[in-house]
Structure 1
Amino acid sequence: MAIITLSTDIGTSDFIIGAFKGQLLSGGTSGSIIDITHQLSSTNFAEVAYICNNAFKYYPEDTIHIIITNLFEYAHRHFLIARFNNQYIICPDNGILTMITRQVPAEVFKIPLPEVDEHATMVILAAFAKAAGQLSKGRYPIQIGQKFTEFVERYPIRPTFGDDWIDGQIIFIDKFENVVVNISREEFEACRKGRLFAITFGRNYSSNQINKISENYSSVSKDEYLACFNSAGLLELSIRGGNMAGLFGLQGFKEENQHVQHILDSAPGGNKRNWFYQTIRIFFT
């Protein structure tokens, strides 16, 4: 029996998610429907990729992942199905696919949408539901759509490296205001080379520093700063019993903020979007 997961930016305060599940069931979907989250960001695709990547890897082969975020960014008359890591991803053609996969999947297919008003949400979701239902019954993507290569591509922001420093970007802040940075343990250790280090944050780099990596939250005393590599393998900064982001004014994605790093993103047709992420710098000595 198939497993279908839902990850959306729709929220749960109105009828849409309930109606979408009804569409899935009414279309004869064979399998379990599991909510990952309905609180995805509509603009911070790095955060979306972080959440989806680290949830999807725990699901079995042939799981069908439906992702709905920023559905109307482009006026496409199609959506995508990709086969990746032996699972299926159904999503809009807005760049979120490659943000999650970090590469061009070998198998990507486009599925046509009906000719309706571009904001007819339930009609579009019905098309997603139909495709998921067909996959759940054992049909292959090539039987549902056509092979496609000209989809929108975006890729996650990467840290930058110097001889004695790394600049990473804040990609996620959780409800406890712990801060996740896009630096992996492997990248940190490769640049560190056994040296001492200072993880700096906030406006005052000289006083706001962490000089050790802890294993978990119990490794430090209450109100002490903590840096660790979380279950996703990325650097996480926090204060035990406190709110790291709020206390130091740390922020994730911002569309227009000239005081944080400026990233340029390309889409087909030469369109450009500005992505801004606040930087965390690590010095090595």
Structure 2
Amino acid sequence: MKWWNKILNSEKFSAGVFLLPAMVLIFIFIIAPVVMAFSYSFTDYHLLKPHLKEFIGIKNYIDILNDQLIYQTLKNTLIFVILVVPLQLSMALGIALLLNKKIRGGAYFKIAFFSPSVLSLVVISILWTILLNPTSGLVNEVFEMLNIPKQPFLISTTQAMPTITFISAWACCGYQMLIFLAGLKNIPGELYEAAKIDGASKWQQFLHITLPGLRPITIFLVITTTISAFKLIVQPMVMTGGGPDNATMTILQYIYEYGFRHRNTGYASAMTVVFTILLIILSLAFKRLLKEEEN
């Protein structure tokens, strides 16, 4: 039994015991669903008729190529990503720069700006839907007091996506703000003092000291924010339902509609596989760009 006691007392066994619960959860909630989605994508699996499941090969993938609405949802998702990433990071950096200065009530402002990031996106979406009501919303009431015409916001095909973009950037920029703030604290103050002595303006200090000092953090935030933006679903689902006229329907919401409302699990699984492959390609492209910049 010495060999058994040796195994029990080894560091590898202890590490395995501690990792086992996490590995079980990863298998149940990540690996198994991925395998099941991939297998379902080759069938006509219906959520309410699992016993009628048939293997249909790549028919679902062919249907995706002929589905015009999926191209619209991909376009909407890309528009959201292109708009929200620079807006959200710019807001976060601007707030971080302000809070990095010694101002009265700095701790209060940090909490105030960060608090939307810890609130439920469902709650935030419902509140903004009420505020942006085209007839009785608080925002339009203020506009009317200022002699500005009332705006349709979420019921307009041209304003709905920009409105959701702004709300998403406002709600989530607090997290990036804290990371930027931590990065600003790590930039040596001697660099700014030397720049002042050399006659550098505030803008020149920002361009040649602040931005280079925040480069690693900025790259990390660009990658994480972009990937997170591609997973947009809560805001349009709660605020517009994907409308008006599918102007805010995103790819994840479209997958949800097919998988749970239409209960066409096979087709939804095929779309999930395609979307996952697109995200993997995007991540690899980011990784390659970063390697080229480092070289």
Relative contact order, higher structure (CA 8 A, sep 6+): 2
Instruction: Find the structure with the greater CA-based Rg.
Output: 2
More helix as a share of residues: 2
* Band of TM-score, shorter chain: under 0.3
- TM-score scaled by length of structure 1: 0.24
Normalising by structure 2, we get a TM-score of 0.23
**By percentage of residues, which structure has more strand?**
1
